[in-house]
Amino acid sequence: MVNRADSAGAPAIFDAHCHFFSAGFFRTLGRDLREPAPADAAVTLPDRLGWEPPGDDTTLSARWAGELDRHGVSGAMLIASVPGDEASVAEAARRYPGKFAAATMVNPNAPDAAARTIRAFEEQDMKCLCLFPAMHQVRLHDQRVERLVAIAAERERAVFVHCGMLTIGARKKLGLTSVFDLRFGDPLAVARLANIYPQASFIIPHFGSGMLRVTLMAMDAAPNVYVDTSSSNSWMKYQNRLTLSDVFKNTLDVAGPSRILFGTDSSFFPRGWQKDIFETQLAIINELVPSEDDRAAILGGNARRLLGMPAPKV
Cis peptide leading into residue 270 (ω within 30°): yes
The pLDDT assigned to 5 comes to 45
The pLDDT assigned to 37 comes to 59
Contacts of 143 (CB under 8 A, 6+ apart): none
- In this structure, are residues 205 and 162 in contact, taking their beta carbons and an 8 Å threshold? yes
- In this structure, are residues 226 and 203 in contact, taking their beta carbons and an 8 Å threshold? yes
Alpha-carbon dihedral angle through residues 92, 224, 187, 177, given to the nearest 10 degrees = 10
Please tell me the distance from the alpha carbon of residue 297 to that of residue 305, in angstroms, as a whole number.
9
* Pairing label, strands 158-161, 128-131: parallel
Contacts of 265 (CB under 8 A, 6+ apart): 17, 18, 19, 205, 206, 230, 231, 232, 274, 277
What does the longest C-alpha to C-alpha distance in the chain come to? 56
Nearest to 302 by CA among 219, 188, 203, 233: 203
Taking the model in full, what pTM does it have? 0.95
The pLDDT assigned to 221 comes to 98
Please tell me the distance from the alpha carbon of residue 184 to that of residue 30, in angstroms, as a whole number.
27
Strands of 100-105's sheet in order across: 13-20, 73-80, 100-105, 128-131, 158-161, 201-204, 225-228, 260-261
> Within the chain, how many helices (H) and strands (E) appear?
14, 8
* pLDDT averaged per 10 residues, the chain (length 314): 46 95 95 76 95 98 98 98 97 98 98 98 98 98 98 98 95 91 97 98 98 98 98 94 97 98 98 98 98 98 97 79
User: 102 in helix, strand or coil?
Assistant: strand
